[in-house]
Amino acid sequence: MTQQQEIHMLRDRVNQLENKLREQSFLVDMTNILIKGHDLETTIKSTLQLAMEITHSEAGCLYLTDLNMSKLKTVEVNGCISEKLVKAFSRLNEFLTLRQLDKIIEIDEKDERFKRFAGLDKRLVAFIIIPLVVSHNTIGYAVVMHLHDEENNHPNCYSPRDLTNLKIYSHQAALLLDNTRVKIEQGKKEFYLKTIASLVAAIDAKDIYTQNHSSRVAKVTVAFSKVLGLAEDMIEKIHYGALLHDIGKIGISDAILNKPSFLTDDEFTLIKDHPLKGFKILEPMDLEPDVLNIIKYHHERYDGGGYPEGLQKQKIPLPARIVSIVDAWDAMTSNRAYRKKLTREQVLYELKRGKASQFDPYLVEEFIALVEKNQMDPFI
């Protein structure tokens, strides 16, 4: 072997080691991001910045799907990128074929598809789409790009080494972002449940005659929903909505809530405001629509004579139709300031009398069947 050949071999070996070192370096960076346990926003920023650094890109965008894995949401933009280009990249799942959704794709001026994006930012020279895949589910995309300014001193294309590094990066980044997002969602749920517990306690403290009413309505509603065969995620939403259905009573005077005689018209008008008040109290919390619908519409009537909007039949959301039956049943089976609880026969009579007028006829028939079998009595 000649000296020149040895030098050439040594150079190749040095290049391999340098490439390996760079690869190890960004993996260490990725691990550091994970260990530091940043919040989601900081993790997203750091993750996108790393993708740009390992590819020497001038700009980048990062998108995550919603919880239904259907729409992409822009969560981070780094670099001077036109808004039109950022928006176009947010529709990548429409632009890519099914086979391409989980593959790293480089697109430059030689690619016919490049024209679709180049017209949105004249400085664009090349870009790479990096899918973020966890357990065969694409949770989002990172896009890194070369943008030329007037000095024209940036790289024109990406190297095979860039693509190799991104394959390693994409897997780690996806796990990191998904892990962080799960932690955030779990934290939100814990806070959500604690908030609900404190709000329900506040409702019970207001009305001495209906203490534990919300909890009983929630328990019976869950049992009834299971009999109806509703999906678990829907039952969970109905549970929360039932617990909070009377939250609007927080804004009503104790003297009215605990009045030992029948209410005047004016007092009843104030009581009728509680569904809308409850909705307005909780709307800023960004709760699920099904939860808010229960709070707002649990006093609507099947015949359209309810409040606050006079909805009728199927226009009343299903969760609200379910809770309205259980709410009325619990009111009848409980002592109130102005009357003693009704007998079982009286309760059944009132439920049957409200069929197709106050209550959904199918739902109330199902509920009556459970009452007649004494399946609701343990919750009284």
Q: What is residue 11's predicted lDDT score, i.e. its pLDDT?
A: 66
Query: Over 70: is that where the pLDDT of 56 sits?
Result: yes
Place 267 in a pLDDT band, splitting at 50, 70 and 90.
Answer: confident
Give mean pLDDT, residues 187-194. 66
Residue 303 buriedness (CB in 10 A; 0-12 / 13-18 / 19+):
middle
Helices 344-353 + 361-372 axis angle, to 10: 160
Give mean pLDDT, residues 6-23. 58
0.75 exceeded by pTM: no
Q: Tokens at residue 109, please?
A: 């001026």
Q: Give the least confident one: 62-66, 87-91, 188-192.
A: 188-192
Q: What is residue 191's predicted lDDT score, i.e. its pLDDT?
A: 67
Give mean pLDDT, residues 268-287. 82
Rg over alpha carbons for the chain, rounded to the nearest Å, is 30
Q: Report d(CA 154, CA 42) in Å as an integer.
A: 27
Place 34 in a pLDDT band, splitting at 50, 70 and 90.
Answer: very low
Give mean pLDDT, residues 78-90. 90
pLDDT in tens, 234-261: 999 999 899 888 888 877 766 676 676 6
Q: Give me the torsion for CA of 211, 215, 219, 224, rounded to 10°.
A: 80
Q: What is residue 70's predicted lDDT score, i.e. its pLDDT?
A: 59
Instruction: Name the average pLDDT for the chain.
Output: 80
Q: Which residue has the higher pLDDT, 43 or 219?
A: 219
Query: Over 90: is that where the pLDDT of 17 sits?
Result: no
Place 35 in a pLDDT band, splitting at 50, 70 and 90.
Answer: very low
Place 12 in a pLDDT band, splitting at 50, 70 and 90.
Answer: low
Contacts for 131 with CB less than 8 Å, ≥ 6 apart: 101, 102, 103, 104, 138, 140, 141, 170, 174
Q: Which residue has the higher pLDDT, 75 or 300?
A: 300
Contacts for 96 with CB less than 8 Å, ≥ 6 apart: 105, 129
Q: What percentage of the chain has pLDDT greater than the value 90?
A: 29
Place 54 in a pLDDT band, splitting at 50, 70 and 90.
Answer: confident
Query: How many secondary structure helices (H) and strands (E) does the chain include?
Result: 15, 5
Q: Report d(CA 12, CA 6) in Å as an integer.
A: 10
Q: Which residue has the higher pLDDT, 130 or 268?
A: 130
Per-residue CA distances from 18 to 11, 143, 251 (Å) = 10, 25, 68
Q: What is residue 321's predicted lDDT score, i.e. its pLDDT?
A: 97
Place 46 in a pLDDT band, splitting at 50, 70 and 90.
Answer: confident
Query: Over 90: is that where the pLDDT of 316 sits?
Result: yes
User: Are the beta carbons of 296 and 311 closer than 8 angstroms?
Assistant: no
Q: Give the least confident one: 18-22, 217-221, 312-316, 334-338.
A: 18-22
What's the chain's length in residues?
Answer: 380
pLDDT in tens, 134-166: 888 888 889 999 988 766 666 678 888 888 888
Domain regions of the chain by residue span: 3-183, 207-379
CATH code of 3-183, in short, is: 3.30.450.40
Task: Return the CATH class of domain 207-379.
Answer: mainly alpha
